[in-house]
Amino acid sequence: MARTQEERRAETRALLLDAASDLFAHKGFHATSAEAVAAAAGRTTGALYDHFGGKEGLLVALLERWVERRIVDISEVIEGVDALGDRLGAMWEGVVVGTNGANGPDGADGPDGEWLLLEIELWLHAVRDPELGMVGAERFGVMRDGLAGALVEWAERYDLELPAGEAELATQLIGLLLGAAFQHRLDPAAVPQAAVVDGLQRLLGLSAPAT
Amino acid sequence: MARTQEERRAETRALLLDAASDLFAHKGFHATSAEAVAAAAGRTTGALYDHFGGKEGLLVALLERWVERRIVDISEVIEGVDALGDRLGAMWEGVVVGTNGANGPDGADGPDGEWLLLEIELWLHAVRDPELGMVGAERFGVMRDGLAGALVEWAERYDLELPAGEAELATQLIGLLLGAAFQHRLDPAAVPQAAVVDGLQRLLGLSAPAT
DNA sequence: GTCTATAAAGGGATAGAC
DNA sequence: GTCTATCCCTTTATAGAC
């Protein structure tokens, strides 16, 4: 019954990270107090300092986790292409409605697009701090590589010719997804899913040629 | 010689706004103290509170200014199209290397891409606060409309057919520009100008068709 | 209209109890 | 391993001088 110390410690760590993930996304790093994070996690600041050494440590841990997250999803989507439009649509849904890592062992949470919020929050910190910047650069590198690889496989399987190098294409697709999500968040009606999917297809050279 | 009170007041206001623009971009809103803004502007907090009522007021003022900025540039660029690639390249340069409003009457400043930093910083605040969110939505609406109008003119003048509605195209072009800039900031080498211009052209239906 | 001095609050970090 | 209590610093905001 009684879990080991190690299990309990791991759980506390996870709870703190998830709480921080939520709060940093919704309120921002500086506007979130260490105590608020601890409280949201059902722990106290003592535990937080023991695990992460401070608020900054929490941010670094999130950044490291950041590198791994959502990469699988974004390239998996391309994989089994039946109707490309549907798949690209799902990809877009994932970006817009995406939750961050807060959905731990215990299931659903974070219905809104908090993924994007955390993404931007972490990006800002990565850009402002050279140390963290390298981590951020790595993250996007991994994302691009993953998507680029998926594009190559996809092109081979269906014997299609990519309109540009796969690395360049990956950069553009991710760019459009992010930039569209950016606008969508402020004004969803102005960025319908069809517009995004349409743009992605055009980038892939799949548009219906003009009349 | 002695300027009127009104002139001096306007100058103080401008100095404070420019200083806030810089600091909010580079350090973030919450990490910047009101006193730091005042000091950077060569004034004191007393003046700041008199003009803006507090740090929050400074943010709101910046957001309002935000709506107007950079819109002209982004659509002007499309206007006199000789070599489209060059123009799109200039557009990209403007986004990446762009300074914010800190280049007041006195000339050059802000060599790096602080425009993007402020853009993201303000976006985050706009997204988190419904009140500010409407201002942000307006900003992007105006940007899109401006670019959409320019696209229509451009298509008519050169008798080209746009591959999608001008509103949709504007959304996509701005999206790609932002998303690419986003990646570029963390890893410039991974996002060469050619890749961005190439993507923009493909979105405009101007790519060399696949073999 | 702007500055100086100060009050009041909030948050990060630590030490020691349990 | 986690919690409680506390110290100290920073920051916001104001009140009154110039």
For the stretch B152-197, pLDDT in tens is: 988 888 888 999 999 999 999 999 999 999 999 999 999 999 999 9
Task: Determine the Cα–Cα distance for residues B75 and B170; give it in Å rounded to an integer.
Answer: 10
Interface test with A, best of B24, B118, B187, B201 (most A CBs within 10 A): B187
pLDDT above 60 for B211:
no
Domains of chain A: 1-58 (1.10.10.60), 69-203 (1.10.357)
Helices B166-186 and A114-128: crossing angle in degrees, nearest 10, is 40
CA distance B141 to chain A (A): 8
Name the DSSP class of A207. Answer: S
Higher pLDDT, A13 or A111: A13
Residue in chain A closest to B211 (alpha carbons) equals A161
A97 close to A113: Cβ distance less than 8 angstroms: yes
Residue among A31, A124, A210 whose CB faces B121 most closely: A124
A90-134: pLDDT as tens digits:
889 888 887 765 443 333 344 567 889 999 999 999 999 999 999
Nearest CA among B154, B202, B144, B89 for reference residue A199? B202
B132/D12 CA-to-C1' distance in Å: 21
Question: Does any strand C atom come closer than 7 Å to the Cβ of B51?
Answer: yes
**Mean pLDDT score, A6-26:** 93
Question: Does any strand D atom come closer than 7 Å to the Cβ of A14?
Answer: no
Q: Which residues contact A165 (CB under 8 A, 6 or more apart)?
A: none
According to the model, what pLDDT value does residue B97 have? 80
B43/D13 CA-to-C1' distance in Å: 17
How many beta carbons lie within 10 A of that of residue A7, not counting itself? 10
Residue in chain B closest to A173 (alpha carbons) equals B176
Residue among A172, A187, A209 whose CB faces B176 most closely: A172
Q: What Cα–Cα distance (Å) separates residue B75 from each residue in A95, A126, B154, B172?
A: 28, 30, 11, 14
A41-91: pLDDT as tens digits:
999 999 999 999 999 999 999 998 887 776 555 666 666 556 778 888 888
A139-184: pLDDT as tens digits:
999 999 989 998 898 888 888 899 999 999 999 999 999 999 999 9
CA distance B14 to chain A (A): 25
B116-140: pLDDT as tens digits:
999 999 999 999 999 999 999 999 9
pLDDT above 60 for A1:
no
**Mean pLDDT score, B104-111:** 41
Hey, what's the torsion of the CAs at B197, B182, A170, A104, to 10 degrees? -160
CA distance A79 to chain B (A): 22
pTM: 0.91
Nearest CA among B208, B202, B198, B197 for reference residue B89? B197
pLDDT above 90 for B73:
no
How many beta carbons lie within 10 A of that of residue B90, not counting itself? 15
Subunit contact B163:A202, Cβ cutoff 8 A: yes
Task: Determine the Cα–Cα distance for residues B118 and B202; give it in Å rounded to an integer.
Answer: 29
